[in-house]
Structure 1
Amino acid sequence: MRYSARIWLLLIAGAAFAACNPHEFPSSEYGDPAQDFSVRLVFEEDMESLTVNGQPTKAGNTPRGYRYAVQLFRYQGDAQFGLSPAYTYEFTRTSNVVALDTTVFLPIVPARYQVYAWVDRLDEAGERCYDASAFENIRIGSDYSAGATARDAFVGQTDLDLSGRFVAGERVQRTLRLSRPVAQLRFVAPEALTYLSYTGGIGISRMRATLRYTAPLADGYDLLHDATVSTLEGPTVEMQPALDPSGELVFCSDFVFAPAGRDGSVSVEFRLTDLDGNPINSFTGELPVRRGWATTVTFGIPDLGGGNKTGGIGISPGFDDEIEIII
């Protein structure tokens, strides 16, 4: 029988980290005592340039907070780890989160493990956009919603071998570096006031943006194998454009799972119209995506004649974590 223990920790900003007393933590089926273990979750600094609504996504600009989930899979022999986690720890940090880096304290039975972490945002209602109960099949919620900052996510993995060791009073420490498994898509007008001066009086409140994926879109992620899984048949979403504090007019944005170790692409059809359906701007084509990068489609002025713009572009390392397509 495989031993499994589940502990749920809740961290509130300003409060001390919660952790079980090692002496109260259950021993394994072999009667092994628990060893103190801590893992430091560190977010990659080079992700600062990927922005949502003009704010660095690493800076914690949502007031609702973050969900942290850590799972440990125990070695079973013959180069195999357990199919189910031996330990699962999940907690949230809410209110005034100014730095995502944190330390998690875990009492565990000495053994060999693979340690995985998933971190995502809470939406405006304090809910999670992802079901991360099974790390081999992390899924977007049933109600697909583009533009939600809570679709941002971070992941990491490390090995831990405590086989045959137990030192009372000692804490084993590891650092787990987290990076994004997602890319961001953005459709914007960099100079909002200039753009609006050409709309013929159509204000932001009278604009509607529609983003349709014209090919299947990965809506699942396998953290254990670092791969996208499953596909969602061409979702279509409608968004209300908004003025960004930086002066950009953001028509639409979204996060998508991107492949590991290579560039990917998504096929989209973007339409910006007024409330009566009259065209203002459009784009149809294939967009490049790369993990941790933002692909930005930029519109200089409205195209009130409704002419469609079609195009594609390769990823250039000179964009400093941003791929820009100028219409």
Structure 2
Amino acid sequence: MNRSSSTALNAAKAGPILKKKSMLSRFLSRWESPVAGYLFLAPWLIGLFLLTFWPMLQSLYFSFTKYSLLEQPEWTGFGNYERIFTSDAVFLQSLKVTFLFVLFSVPLKLFAALLIAMLLKQNIRGMSFYRTMIYLPSLIGTSIAVSILWRNIFDSDGLFNQLLALFGIKGVSWITNPQTALGTLILLVVWQFGSSMVIFLAGLKQISTELYEASSVDGATRIRQFFSITLPMLSPVILFNLVLQTIGSFQMFTQAFIITEGGPINSTYMYALYLYDRAFGRLQMGYASALAWIMLIIIAVCTALIFMSSKYWVFYENDGRKKG
């Protein structure tokens, strides 16, 4: 067989293979276009618009109406907002309780999370087991069962008072005392430090050990290392946790609803509880929508203030300076 006929035969055999490769390349090229990405994102985008954006727009409209869920909305303009700011004393009380809760629970929770994260950073035997056990309360902490258990623990004849009795201390009903009821809720939230602890632990592992070794050579103590190395290097993680916990604390509902129901004397009447009561207890959905948008603005302002302040205390290693 001559060279020309051999070349023709090889070309004939390679024809179907090249055709298949070209079809495959055309198929892949179609999926490399942005359309493919949007198709994969479509379920999430549909859920975002139908379950988030659209309800938000409806809520914004209802906030300017008188709407009871049983009748057609009646346009009232800024009437709901005017009532809230001029003649609603419960609104101010719930806002005060919520701010107190955020002010105390967030710093205490972050402090506990950072402290435990530093302890769990140690390389000792069985550390994975300890981390799992310490993180476990955060998985079940927001459940109704735990809230009921917490209520029983701090009741007049609960476990906490029984422990105090062993030391000759007479206990009280912590959840029915206006001076201590909010403290029990704060303690429960602080106990659920697991998620923040995991984030802190990941941040601590990213800090170079060379910084601690160099500072030790210069004679720095553990306390000096904590304030001069650990906190500055961990400040972006602190900012992240601070924002998340602040937003979550403003929306606190389940524990207050189950444990105290807002009492006693509205001392634990959280903003979310008040919003829930207006919406589903009194069927004032328009009024509740206005309350929800006020809370959204409050959370947005608090978050913005945190980010604005971050330029004074958050340090980023990549550029060697502070920035917001």
Per the normalisation by structure 1, the TM-score is: 0.22
Greater helix proportion: 2
Q: Look at both structures and tell me which one has the larger radius of gyration over its CA atoms.
A: 2
